[in-house]
Structures are given as structure tokens and as C-alpha cells.
Structure 1
Amino acid sequence: MGLIWLKHPVLWHSSRVPSGYDYTAMTDAQKLLIVTRWHNWYTADWDYGQTTLAFFCAAILAAALLNGAAWIRARKGGTMISDSGNNLKKPGPTDKLTAALRYTTARQWRLRATRWYAPPLAAVLGVAGMCVFVMALLLGARPFYWPNEAMGHSPPIATRAGWISIAIMPFMIAFATKINFVALLTGTSHEKLQVFHRWSAVFMYITSLVHTFPFIINDIMMGEMVSQYKLSPWYWTGVAALVPQTYLIALSWGVFRNPYYEIFKKLHFIASGIFMAALFIHVNFRLTSWDYFWATLALYVLAWLARVGRTLYTTRLGLPATLTSVGPDLVRLSVCVPAGRMKWAPGQHVFVRALGLGVHALTSHPFTISSLHSGEGKEEAELELVMRVHGGLTHALARRVAGKAAWATRVVVDGPYGGLHVPLQAYERVYLLAGGSGATFTLPIFANLAATLKAGGVSCQRIEFVVAVPDGDNYAWMEPAVTAAAAQLPDTAVGVRVHYTRIEEPTKGSESDASVDALRGRPVLGDIVREAHASARKVAIVACGPDEFLYDVRSAVAESQLVIADGFGTCKDMFLHTETYSW
């Protein structure tokens, strides 16, 4: 039988010359309709596919321009700020517009009963815009079905849905990669683009269904359903693509994905491969359909090769690492990285694969780097990761070091990724807020910023480091680094507050340190944000912690952004960056 779907010689595009129409059975109006824009089957890829491409490209360009504007705005305050002149004025039009935009990135909703936290308003608006565009393009032109069988076998709504679906595909994949070209343009870390990966996949699935069912309805009305299903390879290839696509969409929701993430990830790749192969055969070489596959393949392969190439260069067959226990349900992994192979900035994270852990060596997990890069003039740098023990990899690591002083292993490190894209030293005051092991994110930022302030010549005048931990044992691992960073600056330039949330337990360590305020009970994050808002003209808030912790910070920052947008107060610029434990 051979490859009945593949022409010989291979054709990359099908002809645009209309054929197969019975013009004698059509009215003059119908003859005109089938060759007009938005109705012509032979230009549908231009009308719908390229329009979809233009929409996504325009949205990414707009996000890139906003990111560039934020980058420039932050660096305008990179030198010491004078206490006179325009800096003492109320927020201006640019400040108000910036605050209004930042309100959308801070505002978040939750369903307390189910402990579900929505993405920020900006992401919700982005997804809503995607939905409005897809639905308008899909449903805008009429008719949905041809009034005359002689006008073609493909219903207009099915044709346009197919092209919209396939044009979404390259962007859906681009949003999912770790080395992410969209992230490079927009300054958004790859994990925060996952919401767009998931929702673009949902809209691709919706348009796939709209593409499928009109053909079934049309063939039933024409009495050709059985014969088409038996004789046409496009029916079974369509079904072969739709089944794994349904699986991918249904089981990608958090309730199914999160409890068994490693199994989900591997099955996700397998199902994606089957889906892409079946879809490639299904679309054949109609018009420019295969061009979208080449674009998707190029985006994915380039990202994959860059990631694998960098990982091989950095770690080769694995880097030596030492695992130690540093507190209740806390372990520290110290990795020796040869000088020059890898550099990282405060707040970045890496994916770690620990060799010698049996089945867990097949999995990699993201962890925030809790140490500063200090490899200049040395043969190697030490990369430290402090991990909270849960299940899976961290539980296996905790078992290895249980009852031992340390455990030596080798690890493969993929990264670094993420981090801050705005210089914090450009802000007069910086508040670093951490919940529990979220300090692994804020601590290196604190140490780096303290060293920068000590050197002088920057706008930043004071740093507030606030951390909430259950007890003194959970603070002990970070205490030396916090004390060392704070010791570089006078009391007027730094403040450290440690909140012990288990009030019945005694505090340890920090009570003997006069530079640290040891407090009992959970921090009132809203009050801290309002304090930050009233403290200076330019304020940066960086937070990392559980979802509830970040929700309180986001809500308070959103309120402050509205105050700035209304033109009240002296604060003109409040920057927020948040990191969560997982995505």
C-alpha cells in the first residue's frame, strides 16, 4: 500500500488552482462567494492561518516593547537621587500609566474553599484576548456551511477552524520550552509562560473540534459518512490526532497533573509525539500546512539543542556534589562547578538530576540557587541549593543523608533560568519577603544587594529582609548568610525581621543578634507593603513563598498601584517580582 498520503515526487505545497467545482450547479452569487476573501478554500491559509500568526506575533511584540520600556525606566534611576526637583512631585502621567499596568500584573483572585489561585490579571487578560480573537475569527464570516453541495465538500467553518488550529501550534510549543525565545523577548521567565502554553493548547483543541464535527455533520447530510470513513485516510488520521490531543488536554489540568507529575511529564511527551505525527499526515501538504510544522520543529529543536548543548558543556558526565542535612525537612546540595563553565545571577534557578538515585536519576526538578556566584580567580565555584523535603527526588535525597554527616554524589545541572530583569539598586528601598524555604530566592539577592550598597554609587538607600519560618531550626541554615550580609551595612541601611510562626516554640540564633528583629507570629504582609509604599518614591518588592503568602503580597501591592495611579502619595514607582514554589 505504501505511504498513500505522500505524493511522489514529494510536494511541499498543494496547488492554488481551483478544481473539482461544478460551476453549472451554482448561481452567479455562489460562484462569486467561493472566490472572495474569508471564503476561498484556496487562500484560507493566508486568510486565517497568517492572520492568527500576525495576532500572536503582535501580542509578543507588544509585551517585548513593554518589557523594554520597564527596563529603560528602571535604569533611569540608576544613579543617586536628589532630594530636590521633580523627584518630590506627585506621580506624573507616566507613573500613573505604569502603575495601572502593574496593577494587572499584581492583581490576583482565589477560591479559598478549593485553595485555587488564579493567574495574575495580566495573564487572565492575555488569555481572554486570545479567546476573543480566536472566536471572532472563527465565527465572524458567514455562512458556516455551504448552501450548495457543488460549492465544495469542506464546510467553511471547518476549513477556517483547521487553519486557526494549526497556526496556534508553533506558539503553543514556543511557550512550553525552557530556553524560551518568547521569554527572552518579554523578560518573563519560562515557568510564567506555562499559562499561555496550556490555554493556547485549549484553544487549539477547541478549533480542532470545530474542524472535525462539521465534516461529520456534512457527510451525514450528504449520505457519505460510511464511505468516507472507510475510504478516506484523512478520517482515521484525524481521529488518530484527536484522541491523543483529547488526552493531553484532559490530563493537563492541575488536579491530574500535580500529584503524579513525573509520570504525567513522560506520558505527555509520548502523547505529544503521536499527536504531531498523526496531525502531520492528516494535513498532508495542503497549501502551506506543512510550513507550520517546520516552524514548530525549528523552535523546539533549537531550544532543545541549546539546552542540551549548554548542559553538556556545563556538567558533562556530572559534577561532584555533597548533600547535607541543615534542618528539619531541609537538605543542602553543594555542587562544585568548574570556573568559566557556568555563571548565575541572584534569584535564578536550575534543574537538577541527581545521579546514583536509581529511578529518580531519570527525573529533574527545579530548585532556586541559594548562593552567589564567586568563581572569579578560582578554579571552581560552589553552587548551593537548599531544598524543602516533600516527596519524590527530595525525599530520596533526604533518605540518603539520614543519619550521616554528608553524602557525595554527582549531579547534572540544567540552567540557570529566570531571575530578575530589573536592577534593584535603582530603587530607593527594596523589600525582600520570604516564606519558609522561599528564602533560597531572596537570600542571594539580599547578599548581592548589600555588597552593591556597600560599594556605593547607587540609588538604593535601605534594604528590608523579612522572612517567616516555623522555628529557629528552620532559620539556622540561613542565619550565617543573613548576618554576614547585614553586617556590611549600618543599621540605617538594613533591617532584618525574622517571624517565627510556631509561637509556642522558642526562637534560636537571632535573639542573640541585635541587628535582627525576632518576632512571633505570621507577618502581616499587607502592613509591610503599605509601609514600603509610604517609605520612598521608588520601591521594589521581591517575594517568594507559598501561594497564600504571595496572594497577600500581590493583593497589597495591587492596592498600592491603584493609589499611585490615582495620583496620591509620594511613591511614584513600585516594582513587584514574585516567585512561587512550583508551576
Structure 2
Amino acid sequence: MDKRRVTYNGLDCETDYGSEAYMIEFDISQADVLFSDQFLYGKYTVYFGLAAILLATLKNVWYRYSDMTYRRKVQNGSIEPGYFGSFIAVLTAFSRSIGYKPINMYVSKYLGLPATSGSFLFVFATTLYLALYSFVPHYWYRGCRGFGSPPLAVRTGVMAVALIPFIYILGGKTNMITLVTGISYEKLNVFHQFCGVACFVLSLIHIIPFIYQIYNEGGTSWLAHKFATFSYYSGIPPLIFIGILIFGSNSWVRKHCYEGFLHIHWLCGIGFFGTTVWHIHDANYEMWDYMWSALAFWMSQLMYRALVKTCFKPNALFLKPRPAQLRILDSQTFEVVVTNVADW
């Protein structure tokens, strides 16, 4: 036997499918846990990210304002911070003493954790937030698979897609988050990797309830039948692509095979985006909003980097004359100095 008999309120989940009593239980299940409500969890995911960006932006604005007022006070010959300024300075120093404290190098390296305690605490808080929204709401499963998709699978799938805009924004060397927060791309890269891992884990959680409930009710034959349909098999390629992205971004791979990592990364990034669109093309319209926003940020960042950083600044790049010094060393050492590359 590759299955066992599954019943719910006296109904056989397999043989009673489509009966009048079965459809009554279907309506009750949908009323208890609305399918449309599961899409709210994608918004909750985005809200958390926006709140974190807002706090970092306010910090950046405050630091800039503090620097400006300090310079003005120095020019006026007075640098007394006042009671409020002293309180903020002490609070800032205390926060930095916690946030900048380094984590053990070997723990950070081999477990893939952030290098500082502040980044680690933020990653921990984000993980806890996503985990609670994934597992605390009930129910995880419906009484029978025919009553609708497992709520756990739907909400984690939506949360995974909601992370995609953050993945592509944080992956850009020129990105909007750096612009508003003042945090460099190098420091944000750890959160780019974390969002990728979180998306991968949520995608796995998204798949498992489908496999478990279908196998439990119909065995391997029913599982094979369901995975021959578009909604199921189309989800496999994006999972493979993001898996390659994560494991290919390992520090050992980047250190020893950086060129391979670089080319595989952008190819799989395009593949992941395209196959995700393919997978959700007939899903709720809100899922498309995440993909369109990810594409908009991704393309605008690439265009900004290509145009503003290169084409619109030719005098700072390939057309700028540069002084050069050439030293040719052999048995009779001598030096040739050229003041301008154009002289050659």
C-alpha cells in the first residue's frame, strides 16, 4: 500500500470527492480560512522590510544633521551639545558598542552568519518574524486536499515571492537602499544573501504541505498525477535556480572560483526571475505586483549604473588623460617616466 485511508467528518477524502456533503465541508473550510487572506502575509513581509529601511533612513538623516550642526557650532566657536545632544550621543555610542561588536571569525565564516552582532541580531529578528507568521497562524492544512490548498503552503509561497524585490534591490552595487540609508553595498550584501536563503527556505515550506497531503490521501500515483500539472511542475525550476544561487554563493566558491560564481550568479538570477514569473502567471494579481516592482528596481539600478556611472562620465573614465610611470627592470636597471598616456 502506498497510501492510507484519510477521512474528515465522516467523509473519505478520496472517494467522496465532489459529493454534496463534500462540497458543504469545502465551503466551511474556505469560510474558516479564506484563501484570499493568505495573500496578506506577503504584505506583512514587505511591511517589515520597509520599516527596517525607514529606521535606517532616519538614522542616516540624523547623522547627516548632526554632522551639519556640529560643523556650524565649530564655526561659531561653540561645540556644547546640550542635554538632548548628550543623551543622543550616549545612546548612539551604546548602540554602536552592541551593533559593531564582532562575532567570532570562525563561527561567522563556517556558519555563514553576519560578522557583527548588530547584523546578526537583525537577521535573527527577521528570521523570527518570518517563522512566526509562517507557523503560528492556523490551520496548516485543510481537512482534505480537495477543500483547497494548504494555508501553510499558500502563505509561505506568497512570503517567498514578497522577498524577491528585496533580493534584487540588495544585489545591486548601485541600489535604492544604499541611496536612502547611506549603508554601502558591501555591508548590505549580507542581507542580500540572507533574503535569498529566506526565500529558498520559505519555498521549501511552500512545497512540503502539497507533497505530504497529496501523498497521504492518494499515494504515489496521485502525487505523480498532480505533479504532471502545470501548477506543480512549474515550481521546480525556480527552486533549482535559487538553490544554485545560494550554494554557488558560498564563501569558498567565491574565493576559489570567483569568475565562475559571477557568471553563474547573473545567469541563474535571470533564470530564477523568469521561471518564477512562469510559475505564478495565473496566480493572484498581487503576486504580480512583487515581480513588477522587483523588475522595476532591478532595471532602474542597472540603467543608472550603466548610464550615470559610465556613459555620462566619459571624462572620468576612458577619455580622461592619466599620468603613467613605467619601470623596466633588467640587468641594467633604468626607468622610463611618461607624464601622459596620450604621449604614447
Residues 105 and 115, structure 2, Cα contact 8 Å, conserved in 1: no
Match in the other structure for 1:149: 145
Quickly say closer, same or farther: Cα 1:112–1:254, change in 2 above 3 A: closer
State TM-score, norm by structure 2: 0.80
Tell me how far apart the structure 2 counterparts of residues 114 and 289 of structure 1 sit (CA, whole Å).
34
Residue 315 in structure 1 maps to residue 314 in structure 2? yes
Structure 1 residue corresponding to 2:196, chosen from 192, 201, 210: 201
Amino acid at match of 1:189: S
Residues 29 and 147, structure 2, Cα contact 8 Å, conserved in 1: no
Match in the other structure for 1:127: 123
SS at match of 1:166: helix
Tell me how far apart the structure 1 counterparts of residues 24 and 89 of structure 2 sit (CA, whole Å).
61
Match in the other structure for 1:280: 277
Quickly say closer, same or farther: Cα 1:43–1:323, change in 2 above 3 A: farther
Residues 45 and 163, structure 2, Cα contact 8 Å, conserved in 1: yes
Structure 2 residue corresponding to 1:93, chosen from 80, 87, 90: 87
Shift of 1:150: 3.8
Match in the other structure for 1:61: 54
Quickly say closer, same or farther: Cα 1:240–1:404, change in 2 above 3 A: farther
Match in the other structure for 1:237: 234
Quickly say closer, same or farther: Cα 1:315–1:21, change in 2 above 3 A: farther
**Bigger relative CO (Cα 8 Å, ≥ 6 apart):** 2
Residues 245 and 271, structure 1, Cα contact 8 Å, conserved in 2: yes
Tell me how far apart the structure 2 counterparts of residues 314 and 404 of structure 1 sit (CA, whole Å).
33
Amino acid at match of 1:194: N
Amino acid at match of 1:298: A
Shift of 1:187: 1.1
Residues 26 and 148, structure 1, Cα contact 8 Å, conserved in 2: no
| Bigger strand fraction | 1
Q: What runs of 5+ residues in structure 1 fail to find an aligned partner?
A: 1-19, 327-401, 411-583
Quickly say closer, same or farther: Cα 1:147–1:312, change in 2 above 3 A: same
Shift of 1:104: 3.2
Residues 162 and 290, structure 2, Cα contact 8 Å, conserved in 1: yes
Amino acid at match of 1:289: M
Superposition map of 1:194-273 within 5 A:
194-223=189-218, 224-230=222-228, 232-273=229-270
Tell me how far apart the structure 2 counterparts of residues 225 and 214 of structure 1 sit (CA, whole Å).
12
Superposition map of 1:421-570 within 5 A:
none
Quickly say closer, same or farther: Cα 1:222–1:188, change in 2 above 3 A: same
Match in the other structure for 1:49: 42
| Bigger helix fraction | 2
Shift of 1:302: 0.6
Quickly say closer, same or farther: Cα 1:106–1:225, change in 2 above 3 A: same
Shift of 1:126: 1.6
Provide runs of 4+ in structure 1 moved above 6 Å.
20-23, 81-85, 88-91, 113-117, 406-410
Report Cα offsets for 1:171-193 as digits up to 9, x if no partner: 11111112211111111112211
Residues 29 and 142, structure 2, Cα contact 8 Å, conserved in 1: no
Tell me how far apart the structure 2 counterparts of residues 298 and 308 of structure 1 sit (CA, whole Å).
15
Shift of 1:134: 0.7
Structure 2 residue corresponding to 1:80, chosen from 57, 60, 74: 74
Structure 1 residue corresponding to 2:158, chosen from 158, 163, 173: 163
Shift of 1:119: 2.2
SS at match of 1:258: helix
Quickly say closer, same or farther: Cα 1:215–1:68, change in 2 above 3 A: same
Match in the other structure for 1:103: 97
Tell me how far apart the structure 2 counterparts of residues 405 and 235 of structure 1 sit (CA, whole Å).
68
SS at match of 1:147: coil
Tell me how far apart the structure 2 counterparts of residues 321 and 22 of structure 1 sit (CA, whole Å).
81
Amino acid at match of 1:99: A
Amino acid at match of 2:318: G
Shift of 1:163: 0.3
SS at match of 1:144: coil
SS at match of 2:212: helix
Amino acid at match of 1:267: I
Shift of 1:297: 0.5
Amino acid at match of 1:203: A
Report Cα offsets for 1:418-477 as digits up to 9, x if no partner: xxxxxxxxxxxxxxxxxxxxxxxxxxxxxxxxxxxxxxxxxxxxxxxxxxxxxxxxxxxx
Structural RMSD (CA): 3.2
Tell me how far apart the structure 1 counterparts of residues 190 and 252 of structure 2 sit (CA, whole Å).
15
Quickly say closer, same or farther: Cα 1:246–1:94, change in 2 above 3 A: same
Report Cα offsets for 1:378-413 as digits up to 9, x if no partner: xxxxxxxxxxxxxxxxxxxxxxxx997469879xxx
Shift of 1:147: 1.7
Residues 108 and 114, structure 2, Cα contact 8 Å, conserved in 1: no
Amino acid at match of 2:283: R
Aligned pair count?
310
Amino acid at match of 1:127: V
Tell me how far apart the structure 2 counterparts of residues 167 and 403 of structure 1 sit (CA, whole Å).
62
Report Cα offsets for 1:241-261 as digits up to 9, x if no partner: 111111111111211112222
Amino acid at match of 2:41: Y
Amino acid at match of 1:306: Y
Residues 26 and 150, structure 1, Cα contact 8 Å, conserved in 2: no
Shift of 1:133: 1.0
Quickly say closer, same or farther: Cα 1:325–1:169, change in 2 above 3 A: farther
Residues 176 and 194, structure 1, Cα contact 8 Å, conserved in 2: yes
